[in-house]
Structure 1
Amino acid sequence: MRITDYGQLPSCFITATDTDAGKTHVSCEIVRAWQQQGYSVAAFKPIATGAISHKGQRVSEDALKLAAVTGQTAGEINPYLYDKPASPHIADINQSFALADCLKQFKQLHQQVDRVLVEGVGGWCVPLSDTLMLKDLAIAIGLPVVMVSRIGLGCINHSLLTFHQIQRDCHLWYGWIANIKDPDYADIDSNIGAIEQRMTSGTVKT
């Protein structure tokens, strides 16, 4: 299902076809739509890489953007921040990701508001440590999974591969969002149509 009405989404986990697909942009739009519906909201980006300096503090640029919408602090949104802009499992060898602590923080946040948006890092199979991938975090959190697809050259392949992998890994698939970063791209409609058609008619073989 392609999602166009963000306000009707439940609390969800946002993943993407790849890095720079536009997860944070879409996440901010979803949170704004929830606010317009009258919901109390919060964002949670458990892991971020590529820290920046903001007012003398190390922060995630993505978390800052989310905080500007939700009213939280960047630190409340993003507990695990690594300096190097790389896959989390190599971004900081001196800081390890603790899944149990992350889940505890999520559950506390989930109890305080009507809607929580959890934003992943990179794509569905990005390693978080030597033993964990992003998909393990998403499955442990248990929210409906929404995929952001950057519409452009290569998006059909990336979208379908991610869609089928999510379906193989869990039963949390909810739908996908087409993020049009370049409105002048000539094949927007045909690419979106190709993805929709193949998601609807395709089956997952196990």
Structure 2
Amino acid sequence: MYFITGTDTDSGKTLVSSALLHAAEGTKIGVKPIASGCEQTENGLRNSDALALIAESNIKLDYQQINPVAFKPAIAPHIAAKQQGLALTAQGVVDSLPLTELEKADFGLIEGAGGWRLPLGNGEYLSDSAKFLATQHQVGIILVVGMKLGCLNHALLTQEAILADGLTIVGWVANQVDPDMAYQDENLATLTQIMTSEFMGYVPHLSNPTAKQAAQSIRFTKAC
């Protein structure tokens, strides 16, 4: 089972998560425990990231099991929760997950929200949920680096934070979010030198990205 985090919002976590699910063999499921920016539908709030994971999963559950915490405003989840009088906690996020199905699957994936230190409120962070999962359920961390100006700093700081939390990054993926990034090759070369975990691949900028396209650029050999 894996927890996918990113260097920032819009780093490409969902694209990489969908690609990993697409490439995985056997039974597979991806979940998105917290999502903001959801659309109101006749069936309730729906999030495009969660729907993308559902599309690449062959273990089918009710939507609320895939995305248990959904907010309509595209704002920080802890602010949206406060507006609704809800309390988000790290353990609560873990308890909301369909852990039985995730553990039974040949490939189980949990996509985070925002970056590693996404606030939940009251001094708790989504990274605390990831720590619970890593220690209690042997969940490995995969880091998505959004390739744009500033990514070297963001990648290093995120790596340092994850390692400081006592967790292991099993791999990282470079995802080109800025098609006009200057010196992209040189930045990628620097990243491959300063990142300490397995380099799983570089996803180029895609005009209309699909999980199938992105999967062709990712390789993953480690198991957790």
TM-score normalised by length of structure 1: 0.83
Pick one of 170, 181, 188 that aligns with 1:185: 181
User: Does 1:91 find its partner at 2:87?
Assistant: no
Task: Pick which of 98-107 and 55-64 moved more.
Answer: 98-107
Cα drift, residue 64 of structure 1: 1.1
CA RMSD of aligned residues (A): 1.8
Cα drift, residue 55 of structure 1: 4.4
CA distance in 2 between partners of 1:88 and 1:56 (Å)? 21
CA distance in 1 between partners of 2:182 and 2:92 (Å)? 45
One-letter code aligned to 1:96: A
Cα drift, residue 149 of structure 1: 0.6
Mapping of 1:97-136 within 5 angstroms? 97-104=88-95, 105-136=97-128
Mapping of 1:32-181 within 5 angstroms? 32-34=22-24, 38-71=25-58, 72=60, 73-93=62-82, 94-104=85-95, 105-142=97-134, 143-181=139-177
CA distance in 1 between partners of 2:54 and 2:74 (Å)? 20
Task: Pick which of 25-34 and 71-80 moved more.
Answer: 71-80
Q: Deviations over 1:2-31 (max 9, x none)?
A: xxxxxxxxx211000000101001100000
* 5+ residue gaps, structure 1: 1-10, 201-206
* 5+ residue gaps, structure 2: 197-224
One-letter code aligned to 1:32: H
Over the matched positions of the two proteins, sequence identity in percent amounts to 35
1:124 alignment partner, SS class: coil
Tell me if the contact between 1:60 and 1:74 (Cα under 8 Å) persists in the aligned partners: no
Task: Pick which of 147-156 and 81-90 moved more.
Answer: 81-90
Number of residue pairs matched by the alignment: 187
CA distance in 2 between partners of 1:74 and 1:64 (Å)? 8
Q: Deviations over 1:107-126 (max 9, x none)?
A: 22223311111000000011
Cα drift, residue 56 of structure 1: 4.7
Q: Corresponding residue for 2:199?
A: none
Cα drift, residue 135 of structure 1: 0.8
CA distance in 1 between partners of 2:70 and 2:192 (Å)? 35
CA distance in 2 between partners of 1:74 and 1:191 (Å)? 39
Cα drift, residue 188 of structure 1: 2.0
One-letter code aligned to 1:24: T
One-letter code aligned to 1:109: E
Task: Pick which of 103-112 and 163-172 moved more.
Answer: 103-112
Cα drift, residue 129 of structure 1: 2.1
Tell me if the contact between 1:83 and 1:92 (Cα under 8 Å) persists in the aligned partners: no
